[in-house]
Amino acid sequence: MKYRAAIDYFDKDNLNTKIRDCLEWVNWKDRIYPDSRIYVKPNLTFPEFRRGVTTSPHFLAAALDVLKERTRHITVFEADGGNNSYPAEKAFETHNLYKICKERGIRLINLSREERTYVEVSTPYGKQSLPLSKEIVENADMTISVPVPKMHFVARYTGAVKNHWGAVPDSMRLRNHFYLEYALPEIMKLMKSGITIVDGEYFLDNNGPVNGDPVKMNIVMATDSPLSADIALMELMDVNPNRVEYIQTALKKCNGPKSINEIEFNTGLAKFKTHAFTYQRDPMDYLALVGFKSRLVTWLVYLSPLRDMAHKLVKTLRGSSRQVNTYYTGIEHEAGSR
């Protein structure tokens, strides 16, 4: 089976057209109907717009305009920043989403304020309980991820698949990072994640996902699945999928291509490889890496009686290298983890 992905350059005058053309390539009209209930997940991993860090407001507005041509039943959603760092309403305001959605008659919701359902995730550590939006799990015909491609100082790369981690409506989802790679396939399945629209105006290089270097790319991509998007983006960014653990798990558990050779593109990728992306960690990043993967460290820092002392020690060791203004409070700021 061939999966499909479309990629093109855009400018400020033809963005809607380019998004529509890319969606046509992935046969969106065969999957989205006038009565389809579509939920759109941007990446609002910072409380205000940052190039290469969060989904650009004008890109999201253009994507919504095109989706509205097919269905009026659209909801944009996000959850609070992790570690109780900031409410999603803050990001909605600074990204102008209240105005964008109101003008288009589109719902805008903070999943952290909505009713939850709890799902079991099978992991090597036993069954884990994870909250998700009851409404989306029960009502969505499709969830559309609108990610920003980034190098990530812990996960190495983040894009369409990992953007779904922000759909967990628990501001302390950091405590669940140790089984993230097993949770993401379950989240995508239950939320019926499908077509992906990539905001490639800026990619994030070096030490992302918050403090990296934005690279102007002016690329729009649409794919038939989040995994198709990530495989294509990793090819563009010279990221080896074998080095990204959650991608390896997704390849085993999710529907989608297993390699770039299983994707049919509208055009060759070579002309879009215009920047040599690099992956960097400073010495203190390895502390976050241990906390990201270790159930024991997660318990120590977030659940144990020593958690306050552990937080103070970590902040002292890390200094201000990854602080997000006054929002940072823990070992790795979840608002900067997608």
Mean pLDDT over 165-182 rounds to 86
In which domain, by residue range, is 182 found? 3-281
Inside any domain, residue 330: no
Inside any domain, residue 312: no
| The total number of structural domains that make up the chain | 1
What are φ and ψ of residue 126, in 5° steps?
A: 100, -175
Inside any domain, residue 107: yes
Mean pLDDT over 297-322 rounds to 61
What's the confidence (pLDDT) of residue 84?
74
Instruction: Give the pLDDT confidence of 51-97 residue by residue, as tens digits.
Output: 999 999 999 999 999 999 999 999 999 999 877 789 999 999 999 99
Instruction: Give the pLDDT confidence of 121-152 residue by residue, as tens digits.
Output: 999 989 999 999 999 999 999 999 999 999 98
Question: What's the CATH number where 123 sits?
Answer: 3.40.50.11440
Inside any domain, residue 221: yes
Mean pLDDT over 167-186 rounds to 87
**SS3 annotation, the chain:** CCEEEEEEECCCCCHHHHHHHHHHHCCHHHCCCCCCCEEEEECCCCCCCCCCCCCCHHHHHHHHHHHHCCCCCEEEEECCCHHHCCCHHHHHHHCCHHHHHHHHCCEEEEHHHCCEEEEEEEECCEEEEEEEEHHHHHHCCEEEEECCCEEECCCEEECCCHHHHHHCCCCCHHHHHHHHHHHHHHHHHHCCEEEEEEEEEEEEEECCCCCCEEEEEEEEEEECCHHHHHHHHHHHCCCCHHHCHHHHHHHHHCCCCCCHHHEEECCCCHHHCCCCCCECCCCCHHHHHHHHHCHHHHHHHHCCCCHHHHHHHHHHHHCCCCCCCCCCCCCCCHHHCC
What's the confidence (pLDDT) of residue 323?
37
List Cβ neighbours of 271 (8 Å cut-off, separation of 6 or more).
Answer: none
What's the confidence (pLDDT) of residue 303?
62
Inside any domain, residue 333: no
Inside any domain, residue 163: yes
Instruction: Give the pLDDT confidence of 64-77 residue by residue, as tens digits.
Output: 999 999 999 999 99
* Of the candidate ranges 82-86, 149-153, 224-228, 259-263, the one whose mean pLDDT is the lowest: 82-86
What's the confidence (pLDDT) of residue 167?
95
Inside any domain, residue 324: no
Mean pLDDT over 267-280 rounds to 94
pLDDT beyond 90 at 207 = no
Inside any domain, residue 205: yes
